[in-house]
Structure 1
Amino acid sequence: MGRAGAMIMRHELRVIGTMPGSTLFGIAMPIVLAALTQGLFTSAVPTNSVSGTGGAELAVPGMAVAFAALGAGRPGFAFFRDYGWGTWDRLRASPASTLDIVAGKVSPWVIMSLVQMLGLFVAAIPLLGFQVSGSWPALILVLFGTALCLCTFGALMTAVSRTSQQLNTISSVCGLAFAALGGAFVPLSALPDWVDAVAPCFPTYWAVRGLHAVVLEQGGLAEVALPVGALLGFTALFALLTTARFRAGESKVYMG
């Protein structure tokens, strides 16, 4: 990302900064749901987990990944907002390349998603008695890989959507599918056997797997290498598809 992309990124961060309620909602709502469901998760705690592990250690990572998946479409609305404001053509006429525009629009939401997930983990410690048995650097690496992957998928959804309403529909359906079939909303052990076969096809599966390695099994950087590698692989695939499909001159309709 060049200088023009960095300027777009700073502008998007300023816009996000005007919506503190959205940031807090992305922390408060998952922690409320984790508090309500941690009792249900207790019976699903793996037997190889460290001593003292309870339902919160399953519910919190799951809700973090689920809400990140449900919010994957947020970067797309940054694009459609410019169409609605009539500033997209001005942005295209600037020295910024298409790569600068896409990277500058998406990267602030990667930061936003990372902050929300990390904020959820930190808040859950005093509120739910949540514990991380493994390495915090490894945990942050998994969270960053998750945020980067899902926000890149958001860029892909933007590329294939012609209207903001289409983007909203696609992101809602895909977010629910990612969260449910990746084992975020409900542990895979409680789902039908066929879900085990398809779950690795979703990045959320690898995000949950990496978080469980750190939270439940005292994992460090070595233990999350495979899940993070899988997340980066999905990111590369989504980025490649976005590059192939995204058209800066394509007409889009903002239906705000």
Structure 2
Amino acid sequence: MRPDAQPGRGGPGRAGLLVRHNTLLLLRDPGPLVGRLVMPVVVMLALRPLYVAAEGPAGAGQAAIGALVTFSLLALSIVGGSILSERVWHTWDRLRVAPVRPVELLVGKAVPVLGVLAVQQAVVLTVGVAFCGVSVRSPGLLAAACAAWGLTLLGMGSAVGVTARSFGQLSATFDVGGFCLTTVGGAMVPLAVLPGWVRDIAPASPGYWAATTMRHAAAGQAAQTLRGVAVLLAVAAACGAVAVWRVRRGWGRAQAG
């Protein structure tokens, strides 16, 4: 986006321009997006017989939610990599003089990815219900759980993107974080079969709250779902606050220099 593109417009106008710009960047190379839609479906279809054999009919839901939580983590790399690219390419100064507020910049990066996540969740759950026997008693609760998890991913990805100093550091953070969010969180492997110490620390992982909240939502358990949604939104807000603070701090240093 040109740094002089309508600098006098209000916040929503600037944020809208950034959302459109970053959406076009995502759509310009659709290959990775198609992969993010196909991979979780393939994994769900492949693992469903194993989960059903181990857990009965409830195993279909475990396979669907596990694939959904695991592959939605790719959103972390999209947001984090996009933000770090701006920093590495030194284009943040151009956005700063436009002027663009930190919140607008982060919204411009996050909203297109939220759209990708929504499509991914819809595809996986639709295939799960239609072909894998996944039972969803409350679509509304499940939609709320999925939305809360999506916002959490965007918040965490933004926080990592404004903190990492190199793509190597970014990759290492995502590798370790992905392991903690999926394995420790009980997304792909049920916590009941994991060691006791993993079950003890699992609630510290946002992935645990994502997986358990989606299971409660699919079962129509409103109280447990709303509690999980509240936890996920709190994590999203905290990470978003860190990201905004880091951007403001960085731009403040640039102005002082």
Same fold per TM (> 0.5)? yes
Q: Residues 182-217 of structure 1, C-alpha deviation per residue, up to 9 Å, x if partnerless?
A: 1112111111111111111111111111111133x2
Question: How many matched pairs?
Answer: 242
Matched, 1:71 2:99: no
**Given the alignment, which residue of 112, 116, 120 partners 1:112?**
116
Tell me the distance in 1 between the aligned counterparts of 2:222 and 2:26. 31
Shift of 1:42: 2.4
**Given the alignment, which residue of 192, 200, 205 partners 1:202?**
205
Shift of 1:43: 5.1
Q: Residues 195-253 of structure 1, C-alpha deviation per residue, up to 9 Å, x if partnerless?
A: 111111111111111111133x2x154441111011011112212222333344479xx
Q: Among all aligned residue pairs of Structure 1 and Structure 2, give the percentage whose two residues are the same amino acid.
A: 27
Q: Residues 37-69 of structure 1, C-alpha deviation per residue, up to 9 Å, x if partnerless?
A: 223322553xxxxxx834221111111011112
Contact 1:78 1:105 in 2 (8 A): yes
Contact 1:73 1:157 in 2 (8 A): no
Q: TM-score, normalised by structure 1?
A: 0.85
Matched, 1:239 2:240: yes
Contact 2:37 2:123 in 1 (8 A): yes
Tell me the distance in 2 between the aligned counterparts of 1:245 and 1:58. 37
Tell me the distance in 2 between the aligned counterparts of 1:203 and 1:43. 28
**Given the alignment, which residue of 177, 180, 183 partners 1:180?**
183
Contact 2:51 2:60 in 1 (8 A): yes
* 145-154 vs 22-31, greater mean Cα deviation: 22-31
SS at structure 1 position matched to 2:73: helix
Q: Which residue pairs with 1:162 in the alignment?
A: 165
SS at structure 1 position matched to 2:217: helix
Tell me the distance in 1 between the aligned counterparts of 2:65 and 2:144. 14
Q: Which residue pairs with 2:52 in the alignment?
A: 42
Q: Which residue pairs with 1:254 in the alignment?
A: none
Tell me the distance in 1 between the aligned counterparts of 2:28 and 2:222. 35
Q: Which residue pairs with 1:227 in the alignment?
A: 228
Unaligned runs of 5+ in 2: 1-10
Unaligned runs of 5+ in 1: 46-51, 252-256
Tell me the distance in 1 between the aligned counterparts of 2:67 and 2:235. 21
SS at structure 1 position matched to 2:76: coil
Greater helix proportion: 2
Which structure has more relative contact order (CA 8 Å, sep 6+)? It is 1
Contact 2:62 2:188 in 1 (8 A): no
